[in-house]
């Protein structure tokens, strides 16, 4: 009995920690700064006793604050702030011009505007950890890197690190409406409390900026791509200014979405024609006004002529005409236009896969220098698996930004554990076979079209007002991984998962290893139980929650799942080869050849490009139908495996977060089974094939699944 009580007590003490009065709820993200174990602490302490830096500068002040907070948490002692390096054990936060670095020969030229180096050096005979950069923001990033070394259990005895981001714009896209509804948001309301701004700046905005700076994010688009022109009016610009002030010391610029028809809606004009002089003058004046309020405003993001949004095509003008009009007005201020390539037209019977390429590729070279075309990772829409978008590598004269969706609109919302790092890595390392700007997708976005030209990545945020920010503990990993890939598109999902797990759950390998294993298998599990073998877009209507492969009655053909899977008595899949829509022709010939035959296309993309018979022999020697069933079951089994791993961590992580993940995995298990059963029931009604031996029949008949309606599922358009 006593022993039991002691165990309970000691567990309580470990998990509450010395500096923590409340249970963990995930609010701290990757900035938990929990006490190091005594060995690590004893090793690190002597090197981290005080700091020196020009803290009168706001970004350096933020860096010093973070260092104090982090070391205070991990070592239990806040480093003192000194004016000079007066003894060993100092941390020098400095830029190139620092008097302390006069004698040190450091490779500043390799660091660019945002890079940093961390080195252990003898300065004036004192052993010092130097965090140096060309600009203050680099030093802030360096501080976060030093903290990460400690959080992930790395030794800091001798450090020699130099790092710089490979992309210039690393931005979040918030699909947040002014009424605080977040389109495709599963983490509560928008964190932007427009009503209370600018008077009240929620401290959460600062924590948001810290979390983003820690992973190198340097821009945030505050508003939904389905834009509301009101954000561009004077009262709202004051609110935006208040946020910009909070973010500035963290190197984060604000951007807004521009509704193309704003000159009509808030400007009183009769047209929004981009070639109309009055329209052009209106935008110039509006953009000048924005910069008067927010001098370092980043620029505008535009969704035009897509899903009902207004755009230049309304006036028979091209996307380049529209983008260039805004670009001309932004250029004098150093602002950019991020113009989205996610377009498909209401009246166009062409394969949706082909439409963005058809519209944008001919415009290569026609955009101003400060325009980036923002392209989703795949040609359809953030599916659990899509081949890379054919535009990558195909517009060598235009900066193309990658757009990833961090929020899991099509991957189980907040409750399904799906680590997207593996999906992004797969896309980024895909070979476009268009070597002009480097062959992989990563290279095509990293290589500037000209020296100094813009490069970038955008991530549709999964952040909301929930205490844990992302709607689930594990969805934080996707925000984290996005930042890391935006910094380095050649990064590796597994290494990122390892860092995240150590920072978020604890650096003990007995915790990190199973968590990383769960994460690394998780996205494939979702693919398997939702859309195996290259299927896609089979989700229920509108909110996209749950299966709806049978839906065929929506107004536009390409909104219907049946449009995508094309299952019939002969087989299943979308023929995008020459005998079908020939979307493959939009890829480089080598890629088109590899994917153009069922014999050479990977199983994972088979049904994306081919309509094949139910009895088609797969590489596994199973028939396609049997293979589908096997995959559905593999997906469900993979969730069970995650549950078992998580159960094994019960005593190794804090109880509140453990419990939450445990419950979410149970939801995922139920829903994976729902997907599996509903999909098999439906496709079997078409394939008319028996289930392979050992695979159970769905629990209910097809009608039962078709009757499930969830009209209040969160995140829909509003
Ligand atoms: C789709 C979403 C929709 C977005 C659209 C977009 O369902 O809510 O507005 O993409 O990216 O994935 O513009």
Which residues in 289-300 are b (16+ Cβ under 10 Å) and which e?
ebbeebeebbbb
Q: Which residue do the tokens 């500096």 mark?
A: 19
Q: So what's the pLDDT on residue 177?
A: 98
409 lines ligand 1 (CB under 6 A): yes
For residues 410 and 543, give the distance between their C-alpha atoms in angstroms, rounded to a whole number: 9
Half-sphere exposure of 122 (CA within 13 A, CB side): 2
Average pLDDT for residues 314-333, to the nearest whole number? 98
- CB of 303 closer than 6 angstroms to any ligand 1 atom: yes
pLDDT tens profile 407-450: 999 999 999 999 999 999 999 999 999 976 569 999 999 999 99
Query: How many A from CA of 530 to the centre of ligand 1?
Result: 19
Indicate if the pLDDT at residue 10 is higher than 90: no
In angstroms, rounded to a whole number, what is the distance separating the alpha carbons of residues 392 and 445?
8
- CA 693 to centroid of ligand 1, rounded, Å: 40
φ, ψ for residue 500, nearest 5 deg: -60, -45
**Predicted confidence band of residue 1 (pLDDT cuts 50, 70, 90):** very low
pLDDT digits (tens, 9 = 90+) for 70-110: 999 999 999 999 999 999 999 999 999 999 998 889 999 99
Mean per-residue pLDDT for 144-155? 97
590-643 pLDDT per residue, tens? 999 999 999 999 999 999 999 999 999 999 999 999 999 999 999 999 999 999
DSSP state of 46: G
**Closest ligand 1 atom to 309 CA:** 13
How many contiguous H segments (helices) and E segments (strands) does the chain have? 21, 16
Using alpha carbons only, what angle is made at residue 688 by residues 685 and 690, rounded to the nearest 5 degrees? 110
382 lines ligand 1 (CB under 6 A): yes
Q: Could you tell me if 58 and 101 are in contact, meaning their C-beta atoms sit under 8 angstroms apart?
A: no
User: How far out from the chain centre does Cα 97 lie?
Assistant: 35
Nearest to 623 by CA among 106, 595, 602, 631: 631
How is residue 337 annotated by DSSP? Answer: E
Concerning whether 409 is annotated as a catalytic residue, the answer is yes
The per-residue pLDDT for 438 is 62
Whether the per-residue pLDDT at 465 is higher than 50: the answer is: yes
Closest atom of ligand 1 relative to the 225 alpha carbon: 13
Q: Determine which one of 307, 364, 604, 706 is catalytic.
A: 307
Q: Which domains does the chain have, with CATH numbers?
A: 2-15+31-163 (3.30.379.10), 169-505 (3.20.20.80), 528-574+611-706 (3.90.1330.10)
Nearest alpha carbon, ligand 1 atom 12: 381
543 CB under 6 A from ligand 1?
no
> Rounded to whole angstroms, what are the CA distances from 345 to 4, 322, 390?
66, 17, 18
The ligand 1 atom nearest the CA atom of 544: 7
Q: Is the CB of 342 under 6 A from ligand 1?
A: yes
Q: Would the CB of 184 count as within 6 Å of ligand 1?
A: yes
- For the Cβ of 55 lying below 6 angstroms from any atom of ligand 1, the answer is no
Interval between CA 717 and ligand 1 midpoint (Å): 8
| Residues 179-220: tens digit of each pLDDT | 999 999 999 999 999 999 999 999 999 999 999 999 999 999
Tokens of 521: 């298998």
Structure tokens at 508: 């003990």
Structure tokens at 330: 């932004």
Count Cβ atoms within 10 A of the Cβ of residue 49 and give its class: 0-12 exposed, 13-18 middle, 19 or more buried: middle
Our answer on whether the CB atom of 403 is closer than 6 Å to any ligand 1 atom is: no
The predicted pLDDT at position 504 comes to: 98
Band (326; pLDDT cuts 50, 70, 90): very high
- Phi, psi torsion values for 94, nearest 5 degrees: -145, 155
Choose the catalytic residue: 176, 321, 409, 524. Answer: 409
Mutate to test the pocket of ligand 1, among 342, 374, 384 (most ligand atoms within 8 A of CB): 342
DSSP code at position 182:
B
pLDDT recorded at residue 569: 97
Whole-number mean pLDDT of the chain?
A: 95
Cβ-based neighbours of 476, under 8 Å, separated by 6 or more: 26, 29, 30, 468, 469, 470, 500, 504
Best CA proximity match to 485, nearest among 474, 496, 498? 496
Which of 104-108, 269-273, 613-617, 661-665 has the weakest average pLDDT? 104-108
**Cβ–ligand 1 contact at 404 (below 6 Å):** no
Which helix H or strand E contains 277, and what residues bound it? helix 277-293
Pocket test for ligand 1, best of 409, 461, 536 (most atoms within 8 A of CB): 409
List, for residues 478-502, the tens digit of each pLDDT value. Answer: 999 999 999 999 999 999 999 999 9
Sheet containing strand 160-163, edge to edge, reads 80-81, 50-52, 90-95, 126-133, 116-123, 160-163
Is the model's pLDDT at 3 over the cut of 80? Answer: no
The string of DSSP letters for 67-111 reads HHHHHHHHHSSPPEE-SS--SSSEEEEEETT-GGGSS----GGGT
Tokens (6 digits) for 394 = 């195909």
Assess whether 307 carries a catalytic annotation.
yes
Question: If you average pLDDT over residues 490-516, what whole number do you get?
Answer: 98
Is 173 in contact with 160 (CB distance < 8 Å)? no
- CB count in 10 Å sphere of residue 13: 10
Q: Tokens 């990190």 label which residue?
A: 512
What's the rounded mean pLDDT across residues 676-690?
A: 98
| Closest by CA position to 356, among listed 310, 396, 303 | 303
Which are the contacts of 268, defined by CB distance < 8 A and separation ≥ 6? none
612 pairs with which residues across the strands? Answer: 572
Percent of the chain's residues with pLDDT above 90: 94
- What pLDDT was estimated at residue 718? 78
**257 Cα–ligand 1 center, Å:** 14
Q: Whose CA is nearest to atom 9 of ligand 1?
A: 226
Nearest atom (ligand 1) to Cα of 382:
12
pLDDT at residue 65 is higher than 70 = yes
How high is the pLDDT of residue 422? 99
Is residue 524 part of the annotated active site? The answer reads no
If residue 340 lies in a helix (H) or strand (E), which one and from where to where?
Answer: strand 336-340
Tell me how far the alpha carbon of residue 308 is from its chain's centroid.
25
Closest atom, ligand 1, to C-alpha of 381: 12
């Amino acid at each position: 009995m006593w022993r039991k009580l002691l165990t309970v007590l000691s567990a309580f003490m470990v998990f509450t920690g010395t500096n923590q009065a409340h249970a963990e709820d995930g609010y701290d993200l990757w900035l938990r700064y929990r006490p190091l174990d005594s060995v690590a602490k004893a090793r690190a302490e002597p090197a981290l006793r005080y700091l020196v830096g020009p803290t009168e500068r706001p970004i350096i002040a933020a860096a010093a604050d973070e260092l104090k907070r982090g070391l205070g948490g991990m070592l239990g002692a806040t480093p003192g702030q000194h004016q000079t390096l007066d003894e060993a054990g100092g941390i020098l936060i400095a830029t190139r011009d620092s008097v302390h670095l006069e004698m040190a020969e450091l490779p500043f030229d390799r660091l660019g505007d945002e890079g940093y180096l961390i080195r252990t050096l003898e300065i004036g005979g004192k052993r010092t950890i130097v965090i140096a950069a060309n600009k203050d923001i680099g030093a802030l990033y360096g501080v976060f890197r030093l903290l990460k070394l400690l959080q992930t259990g790395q030794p800091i005895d001798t450090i020699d690190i130099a790092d710089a981001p490979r992309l210039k714009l690393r931005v979040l896209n918030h699909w947040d409406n002014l009424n605080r509804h977040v389109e495709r948001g599963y983490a509560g309301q928008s964190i932007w409390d427009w009503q209370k701004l600018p008077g009240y700046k929620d401290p959460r905005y600062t924590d948001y900026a810290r979390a983003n700076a820690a992973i190198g994010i340097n821009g945030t688009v505050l508003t939904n791509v389905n834009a509301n022109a009101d954000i561009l009016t004077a009262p709202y610009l004051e609110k935006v200014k208040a946020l910009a002030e909070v973010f500035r010391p963290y190197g984060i610029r604000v951007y807004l979405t521009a509704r193309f028809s704003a000159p009509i809606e808030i400007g009183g004009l009769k047209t929004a024609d981009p070639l109309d002089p009055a329209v052009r003058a209106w935008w110039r004046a509006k953009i000048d006004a924005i910069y008067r309020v927010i001098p370092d405003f980043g620029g505008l993001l535009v969704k035009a002529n897509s899903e009902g949004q207004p755009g230049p095509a309304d006036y028979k003008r091209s996307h380049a005409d529209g983008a260039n009009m805004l670009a001309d007005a932004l250029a004098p201020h150093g602002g950019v236009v991020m113009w989205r390539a996610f377009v498909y037209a209401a009246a166009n019977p062409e394969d949706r896969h082909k439409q963005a390429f058809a519209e944008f590729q001919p415009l290569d070279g026609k955009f101003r220098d400060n325009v980036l075309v923002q392209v989703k990772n795949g040609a359809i829409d953030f599916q659990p698996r899509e081949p890379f978008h054919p535009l990558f590598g195909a517009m060598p004269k235009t900066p193309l930004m990658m757009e990833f969706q961090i929020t899991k609109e099509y991957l189980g919302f907040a409750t399904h554990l799906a680590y997207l790092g593996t999906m992004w890595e797969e896309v980024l390392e895909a070979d476009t076979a268009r070597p002009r700007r480097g062959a992989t997708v990563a290279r095509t976005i990293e290589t500037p079209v000209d020296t100094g030209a813009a490069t970038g990545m955008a991530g549709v945020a999964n952040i909301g007002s929930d205490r844990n920010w992302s709607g689930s503990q594990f969805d934080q990993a996707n925000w984290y991984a996005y930042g890391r890939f935006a910094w380095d598109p050649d990064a590796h999902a597994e290494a990122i998962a390892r860092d995240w797990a150590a920072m978020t759950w604890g650096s003990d390998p007995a915790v990190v290893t199973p968590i990383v294993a769960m994460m690394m298998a998780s996205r494939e599990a979702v693919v398997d139980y939702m859309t195996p073998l290259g299927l896609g877009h089979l989700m229920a209507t509108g909110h996209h929650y749950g299966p709806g492969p049978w839906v065929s009655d929506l107004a536009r053909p390409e909104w219907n799942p049946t449009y995508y899977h094309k299952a019939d008595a002969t087989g299943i899949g979308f023929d995008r080869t020459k005998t079908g829509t020939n979307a493959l022709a939009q890829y480089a010939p080598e890629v088109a050849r590899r994917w153009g035959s069922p014999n050479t296309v990977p199983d994972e993309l088979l049904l994306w490009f081919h309509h094949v018979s139910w009895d088609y022999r797969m590489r596994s020697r199973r028939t396609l139908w049997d293979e589908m069933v096997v995959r559905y079951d593999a997906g469900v089994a993979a969730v069970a495996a995650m549950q078992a791993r998580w159960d094994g961590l019960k005593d190794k992580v804090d109880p509140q977060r453990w419990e939450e993940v445990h419950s979410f995995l149970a939801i995922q298990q139920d829903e994976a089974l729902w997907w599996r059963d509903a999909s098999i029931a439906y496709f079997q009604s078409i394939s008319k094939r028996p289930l392979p031996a050992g695979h159970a029949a769905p629990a209910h008949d097809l009608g039962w699944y078709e009757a499930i309606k969830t009209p209040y599922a969160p995140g829909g358009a509003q």
